[in-house]
Structure 1
Amino acid sequence: MKAVHFGAGNIGRGFVGLLLHQAGYEVVFADVNAELIDALAAADSYRVRLVGEGGEQVETVTGFRAVNSSVDEEALVAEIATADVVTTAVGPRILRFVAPVIARGLAARPDDAARLAVMACENAIGASDLLAAELMDGLPDDETRDTLAARAVFANTAVDRIVPAQAADAGIDVTVESFYEWVVDRSPFAGDAPDIPGAHFVDSLGPYIERKLFTVNTGHATVAYFGFLEGATTISDAIAIPSVRAAAEAALAETSAALAAKHGLDEAALAEYRETILGRFANRYLVDEVARVGREPIRKLGRNDRFIGPASDYAAFLGSAPAALLAAVGAALRFDLPEDMQSVELQRLLDEAEPELIVAEVMGVERGEILHDPLVEVVRSAQSAPSV
């Protein structure tokens, strides 16, 4: 069995690539980073350190190859043409760049080949649907779309594993937390899902995606932004500050309330899940920097992302504005990190734009929505707050 994985970075090697290797797949890593690809191509193995409160475990990954997708597209097309699985961990905005080569690989597959399982493993809702749309939009006609659609199965996923910034001398070895979840929508496979023991196939993925995004990602960012305001350097240091932990607990209590109201998820199970997630953030064996987790605040303040997404659901299903999530938005607005381009742009907007414009353009919330006026006040308060 063979899997082609786009994105040979820390998540690709330490999460998806590791689980595919453990499932018995030969993994072909594709990336545009020539130095990384050369290092992988020259190596027979790499190590994944799994760290947690129980100590450290080391897994060794072998039987992989690497292709530079920016200079050797023909080789990558040939790999996709004979693969069983294609996965990605490149970021949602990069999917449109990998779609054309996947389309070429599908076109090169024999007519009698099994359908290619395509799973975008991104921190986004419906990432595989987005990849499929990008792929189909780039095709010349309906006949070609129909032909290639019959050769692939696109299945959405929810993925969760904290992969911190790595030591400068780590090379291609990678350190990750021991906890992980890879949940895959079973329904597109019509009973013929790929055999990946580390993945959990479910009939209805939507609740799992939102539970993860609006608990793990919301909580992680909340701890980062409040921790930043308190001067913390790492996530474990930040969540050890009582006020930061209280802010995260309150925000996640609201996201759980929205999830329970929207999807009918069990409130006791959600409470247990919240405690598990907060415990993961306190893992001192996993050195994860506040600056890394907080970067790209404009994206994280988007309508469907980790703050406004659950806040919108809370307003829609519970009829009021969630105070703790709005407080987290206020903390995110004050994330002032000169080396992060989105942080710099956000601070410029706060200096120059009216609050209503920021709420509409950055957060996607329009006048008349329950969240609009409270968010305007949050932005106005951030604009008048002293610099950190």
Structure 2
Amino acid sequence: MAVTRRAVHIGAGKIGRGFVGQFLAASGYDLTFVDVDDRVVTALNDARQFVVHEVGDEPVDHTVTGFRALNSKTDRDAVVRALAQADVVTTAVGARTLPLVAPLVADGLALRSPEAGTVTVVACENAFNATDSLHASVRRAPSLDDREVDAVFANCAIDRIVPDQSGVLGEHGGLDVVLEPFYEWVIERTPFVGSGAEPPEIDGVTWVDDLQPFVERKLYTVNTAHATAAYHGFVRGIRLIREALADPVVRPEVDGVLAETTALLVAKHGFDPAEHRRYVEANLARIANPLLPDTTARVGRNPLRKLGRRERFIGPAAQLAERGLPVDHLLGAIRVALAFDDPDDPESIELHALLGSGATAHALTEILTGLMESHPLFPAVRDVVASTLEA
């Protein structure tokens, strides 16, 4: 008799449905989506299926079935029971939302019986060591009360471009997702050592012993290039990412930041320069895909997060500065990120409120980037912030 494998995925948005959820369903898991948006939960339960459209030279449609959906606000007890029985728990809610998800996960872990076995927890977020952050928040939850639970928390790196879906309706209540064929889902294997458990079988996952090179390669190539094109394009009034990459002013800036991050990645992780060049070129082609009409406003949203200490601009620039290597184009990207002004993006509003608060460039540099005054990158970023205040 076949054993039922169960997965719970928290966050039924585009990445949740079109990437993580798709692969969990394809792997044969009895899948439960969890979300707070009752419209999405109702649509999932009514439709019982949706389609993931891969667009490119050889388009492919994947029909996703075999799932249910629960609302964690209105049916919390059912969500906790599902978590208590799960073999795999994943999230795609945004890194800043993980502390809000943690009590729910903790309650599910607290309810698990010894017969449930080991549960694997993976936060599939666009942030460094997101699962570690979730784990720390889970451990602080009152329901666990410092008890040990049979769970393995593993960090991962995910990479798949999912553009704005406003024009995507399909036949399944707006649930269909359009995205690129390329994907990368890399999960660290090391947390399983000594646990007595093996990594779960999940289609599309690459298990590695050292996640850091993959995380930094993706973040400092794909995300840095994407955001650079978005911010430079936005301030020039360019709407689409692919149009920004074709712009004679924007493209050299994107190429410049990639030359700087390439220098870091090759020096730090020993990537083969020719192989990494191919990786860069492939990802520029992905970003410019004419079948993915992504906008500079969408890619540029959440500038406060993207200016963070370990994020796509400050992260590589800080390490380059420590090595005495050039950061001119990364500083240029920081400058236009500070100029990103979208009234529909809450973080953009918050950013400009900070810039208009009367705080000094010195203080704002610390607040916005997390850089310490003693860091070699600090003076250059402070100068960029000061020029923004003077503009």
Fold in common (TM above 0.5): yes
**Retained in 2: the 8 A contact 1:122–1:159?**
yes
Residue aligned with 2:210, SS: coil
Correspondence for 2:385: 379
**Retained in 2: the 8 A contact 1:359–1:372?**
yes
Q: Out of 220, 224, 230, which is 2:226 matched to?
A: 220
**Retained in 1: the 8 A contact 2:154–2:187?**
yes
**CA distance in structure 1 between the partners assigned to 2:314 and 2:90 by the alignment:** 28
**CA distance in structure 2 between the partners assigned to 1:345 and 1:338 by the alignment:** 10
**CA distance in structure 2 between the partners assigned to 1:79 and 1:138 by the alignment:** 18
* 1:127-185 per-position Cα deviation (integer Å, ceiling 9, x unaligned): 111111000011467xx43422xx10000000011111113552111111111100000
111-120 or 375-384: bigger deviation? 375-384
* 1:204-254 per-position Cα deviation (integer Å, ceiling 9, x unaligned): 001111111111111110000011122111111111112212111110111
**CA distance in structure 1 between the partners assigned to 2:203 and 2:40 by the alignment:** 28
How much has 1:55 moved relative to structure 2?
4.1
List aligned pairs for 1:197-208, cutoff 5 A: 197-208=203-214
**CA distance in structure 1 between the partners assigned to 2:105 and 2:235 by the alignment:** 43
- In structure 1, give the amino acid aligned to 2:146: R
95-104 or 12-21: bigger deviation? 95-104
**Retained in 2: the 8 A contact 1:3–1:85?**
yes
How much has 1:264 moved relative to structure 2?
2.5
List aligned pairs for 1:23-102, cutoff 5 A: 23-52=27-56, 54-102=57-105
Correspondence for 1:130: 133
- In structure 2, give the amino acid aligned to 1:291: A
**Retained in 2: the 8 A contact 1:176–1:286?**
yes
Correspondence for 1:147: 148
How much has 1:321 moved relative to structure 2?
4.8
Residue aligned with 1:299, SS: helix
Q: Out of 297, 302, 307, which is 1:301 matched to?
A: 307
Q: Out of 229, 248, 251, which is 1:245 matched to?
A: 251
**Retained in 2: the 8 A contact 1:321–1:370?**
no
* 1:82-116 per-position Cα deviation (integer Å, ceiling 9, x unaligned): 11100000011111111112112112222132200
TM-score, normalising length from structure 2? 0.93
- In structure 1, give the amino acid aligned to 2:155: N
Correspondence for 2:121: 118
How much has 1:268 moved relative to structure 2?
2.3
Q: Which of structure 1's runs of 4+ aligned residues deviate more than 4 A?
A: none
* 1:273-313 per-position Cα deviation (integer Å, ceiling 9, x unaligned): 11111111110100111101101111111111110011111
Correspondence for 1:329: 334
**Retained in 1: the 8 A contact 2:168–2:176?**
no
**CA distance in structure 2 between the partners assigned to 1:100 and 1:367 by the alignment:** 36
How much has 1:45 moved relative to structure 2?
0.9
Q: Which residues of structure 2 form unaligned runs of 5+?
A: none
Correspondence for 2:266: 260
**Retained in 2: the 8 A contact 1:160–1:181?**
yes
209-218 or 9-18: bigger deviation? 209-218
- In structure 2, give the amino acid aligned to 1:36: V
- In structure 2, give the amino acid aligned to 1:164: P
Correspondence for 1:173: 176
Question: What number of residue pairs does the alignment pair up?
Answer: 379
Correspondence for 1:161: 160
* 1:341-366 per-position Cα deviation (integer Å, ceiling 9, x unaligned): 22123223333332111111111122
**Retained in 2: the 8 A contact 1:153–1:189?**
yes
RMSD: 1.5
344-353 or 323-332: bigger deviation? 344-353
Residue aligned with 1:336, SS: coil
1:289 maps to 2:295 = yes
174-183 or 360-369: bigger deviation? 360-369
List aligned pairs for 1:346-385, cutoff 5 A: 346-351=351-356, 352-385=358-391
Residue aligned with 1:66, SS: strand
TM-score, normalising length from structure 1? 0.94
- Name the CA shift for 1:169/1:262 in 2 (closer, same or farther; >3 Å): closer
343-352 or 77-86: bigger deviation? 343-352
Residue aligned with 1:197, SS: coil
**CA distance in structure 2 between the partners assigned to 1:103 and 1:377 by the alignment:** 44
**CA distance in structure 2 between the partners assigned to 1:65 and 1:355 by the alignment:** 50
Residue aligned with 2:59, SS: strand
**Retained in 1: the 8 A contact 2:72–2:79?**
yes
56-65 or 103-112: bigger deviation? 103-112
**CA distance in structure 2 between the partners assigned to 1:140 and 1:58 by the alignment:** 42
**Retained in 2: the 8 A contact 1:355–1:376?**
yes
Residue aligned with 2:55, SS: strand
**Retained in 2: the 8 A contact 1:85–1:117?**
yes
**CA distance in structure 1 between the partners assigned to 2:378 and 2:232 by the alignment:** 22
**CA distance in structure 1 between the partners assigned to 2:184 and 2:285 by the alignment:** 16
